[in-house]
Amino acid sequence: MASFVIEGGHRLQGDIVPQGAKNEALQIICATLLTSEEVKIYNIPDILDVNNLIQLLRDMGVTVQHIGVNAYSFKADNVNLDYLHCEDFLRRSASLRGSVMIVGPLVARFGMAVIPKPGGDKIGRRRLDTHFIGIQKLGADFTYYPEQQLYEITARELKGAYMLLDEASVTGTANILMAAVLAKGTTTIYNAACEPYLQQLSKMLNKMGAKISGIGSNLLTVEGVESLEGCSHTILPDMIEVGSFIGMAAMTGSDIRIKNVSYNDLGIIPDSFRRLGITLNQEGDDIHVPHHDYYEIETFIDGSIMTFADAPWPGLTPDLLSVFLVVATQAKGSVLIHQKMFESRLFFVDKLIDMGAQIILCDPHRAAVIGQGKSHTLRAATMVSPDIRAGIALLIAAMSADGISTIHNIDQIDRGYQDIDKRLNKLGARITRL
Ligand X SMILES: C=C(OP(=O)(O)O)C(=O)O
Query: Which residues line the annotated binding site for phosphoenolpyruvate?
Result: 22-23
Question: Does 168 sit near ligand UD1 (CB under 6 A)?
Answer: yes
Question: Does 97 sit near ligand UD1 (CB under 6 A)?
Answer: yes
| Cα(57)–Cα(29) distance, integer angstroms | 9
| Cα(193)–Cα(169) distance, integer angstroms | 6
Please, what sign has the CA dihedral across residues 48, 53, 56, 58?
A: negative
Q: Minimum Å distance from CB 342 to ligand X?
A: 8
Question: Does 195 sit near ligand X (CB under 6 A)?
Answer: no
Binding-site residues for UDP-N-acetyl-alpha-D-glucosamine: 97, 319, 341
Give the residue ranges of DSSP H helices in 269-361: 269-275, 321-328, 349-354
Q: Which of 224, 318, 333, 386 binds ligand UD1 (CB under 6 A)?
A: 318
Task: Respond yes or no: is residue 121 known to be catalytic.
Answer: yes
| Cα(221)–Cα(212) distance, integer angstroms | 6
Question: Does 386 sit near ligand X (CB under 6 A)?
Answer: no
Smallest CA-to-CA distance from 412 within 389, 383, 380 is with 389
Which one, 49 or 310, has the nearer CB to ligand X?
A: 49
Query: Residues 271-274: contacts with CB within 8 Å, 24+ apart?
Result: 272/308, 272/316, 272/320, 272/324, 273/243, 273/246, 273/247, 273/324, 273/327
Question: Does 319 sit near ligand UD1 (CB under 6 A)?
Answer: yes
Q: How many C-alpha atoms does 415 have within 13 Å on its Cβ side?
A: 24
- Cβ count near 125 (within 10 Å): 7
Question: Does 237 sit near ligand X (CB under 6 A)?
Answer: no
Q: What residue 168 binds from ligand X, ligand UD1, none (CB within 5 to 8 A, per partner kind)?
A: ligand UD1
Per annotation, catalytic residue among 121, 387, 414, 421: 121
User: At 114, phi and psi to the nearest 5?
Assistant: -130, 140
Question: Does 97 sit near ligand X (CB under 6 A)?
Answer: yes
E-state strands within 241-397 = 255-258, 281-283, 286-289, 306-309, 332-338, 359-363, 366-372, 382-384
Question: Which part of the chain contacts ligand UD1 (CB under 6 A), choosing from 64-72, 141-149, 169-177, 210-218?
Answer: 169-177
Distance of CA 348 to the CA centre of its chain: 19
Q: What residue 416 binds from ligand X, ligand UD1, none (CB within 5 to 8 A, per partner kind)?
A: ligand X
Q: Which of 24, 121, 195, 265 binds ligand X (CB under 6 A)?
A: 121
Which one, 22 or 257, has the nearer CB to ligand X?
A: 22
Question: Does 265 sit near ligand X (CB under 6 A)?
Answer: no
Which one, 38 or 121, has the nearer CB to ligand X?
A: 121
Q: What residue 312 binds from ligand UD1, ligand X, none (CB within 5 to 8 A, per partner kind)?
A: ligand UD1
The site for ligand UD1 (CB under 6 A) is made up of: 23, 26, 97-98, 125-127, 167-172, 193, 312, 317-319, 341-342
Known catalytic residues are 121
